[in-house]
Structure formats: structure tokens, C-alpha cells
Chain A
Amino acid sequence: AQTVTQSQPEMSVQEAETVTLSCTYDTSESDYYLFWYKQPPSRQMILVIRQEAYKQQNATENRFSVNFQKAAKSFSLKISDSQLGDAAMYFCASLNTGTASKLTFGTGTRLQVTL
């Protein structure tokens, strides 16, 4: 069984600063994907970034990047130049390719962005 752990219930960052959200996971599978989803007050889950486990290079999407440490089973999200619109719940999730479409989520981190 897969588990995903987010140990930071809440984080705060000032506008234009950088923040890192932590995530650890556990899986016995060798082939899997990792994701960060954002859930704003509108409740719709929005994919922020994804990482294929077989890729050593860390994924990057504009101001969002990950630090994927496969041996340590760690998958942190770095948000650079934080904006007010980044305020939301952030969920880390994993997916085994053998169980396509079954996402396992962490408990989430609420990110506040202050002026």
C-alpha cells in the first residue's frame, strides 16, 4: 500500500519570497508518479507539477519546482516569487502505474501568502 505524508499543516510566506512544502511517501512499486495539486477556495483540484519516478531530473513548471529524492522517498515543492494567488491547500499525491488513476493523497498543507 502507498502512503503519503505531509508534516506541515500550515505554512506562511511573504509575497515575492520562496517557500518549500515537504512531502514524503512510501511505496513498494518501482514505477510510479508523484504530483502536487493545489486546491484554492473554489475547491477545484489543480495540477501544479508532476514527476515520473524513473526520471532523475527534477521537474520544473515556471515558479514551481520539486526536489525529488528517490532514495529518501522525499518529494518537496518549492514555490519561488510567491504570489497572493498561490494561497491555497497543497496536496502531495502518488500514483502507481499498475493502478492507473488511483491517487493516494497526503493530508495537505495550507499555504498563506502575506503582503
Chain B
Amino acid sequence: KAGVTQTPRYLIKTRGQQVTLSCSPISGHRSVSWYQQTPGQGLQFLFEYFSETQRNKGNFPGRFSGRQFSNSRSEMNVSTLELGDSALYLCASSLALTGLNTEAFFGQGTRLTVV
């Protein structure tokens, strides 16, 4: 079956602009998580959506937001972009049923460059 799909793969934006990233999970997966990966901070958890509700949130400013649609596809939005937002943004999907298999499957990421 198809894996996790992230679009676009690459993005260049200017400081102050906003950006929307998209993630389509594996069919049947209701949980979508987002991570930011930078050389300095490593992999950091942004937030997780499950059945259209934000279930977990990391320590990021309010400029970072997300949502999930009824088909489990998720979007992440970053407003008022800063140079420090340049990163690889990874999306992961899972069944996320408590006590059962929680394996996360990752997409190939979106490389965001802010200039």
C-alpha cells in the first residue's frame, strides 16, 4: 500500500511569508504527527492530530499550527516565517491505538528554506 506522502518536497520562502505543508497518511491511519529536523536542534515534535483533533503539542510558538481533515490528511502552517524556521519537516502516520502497535511511518519530508 502507498506510504506517507508529503508535498511539496522542496520549498523556498521569504521571511515574513507563510507556508502550508501537506501530509497524506497511510490508508487507515488516523494519527498524523509532525516533526521539525534541524542540524542544531535535531528532531523535535511539533504536534499530533488524531481524528481531526490535536492530541499532543510540542514547545513551538503559535506561528506553527496544523489541522487534520476527515480523510486524515493533515496540513501544517507556519506564519510570519523566520530564518530559523528553515528545516526539514517530517510527517509520520500511525494507527496510534493505545496499547497496540504504535509504529510510526514517516514521509520523505519537506525541505523548507527561508531566505
Contacts and interface: CB of A to CB of B under 8 A. Distances in A.
Contacts of A105: 35, 42-43
A103 B99 CA distance: 15
B90 A45 contact: yes
Given A33-B102, A50-B103, A91-B43, A101 B108 contact: no
Q: Which of B42, B58, B88, B104 has the most CB of A within 10 A?
A: B104
Contacts, number: 62
Contacts of A91: 43
Interface residues of A, number: 22
Nearest to B4: A44
Contact of B42 (A33, A95, A100, A108): A108
Interface string A94-115: 0101011111111110000000
B108 A42 contact: yes
A47 interface: yes
B56 A102 contact: yes
B94 to A, nearest CB: 6
A102 B48 contact: yes
B108 A103 contact: no
B104 A44 contact: no
A55 interface: no
A44 B42 CA distance: 15
- Closest 6 CB pairs between A and B? A45-B106, A105-B43, A101-B96, A44-B108, A100-B96, A101-B48
Interface of B: 31, 33, 35, 42-43, 45, 48, 50, 55-56, 58, 88, 90, 92, 94, 96-99, 102-109, 111
Interface of A: 33, 37, 42-47, 50, 91, 95, 97, 99-108
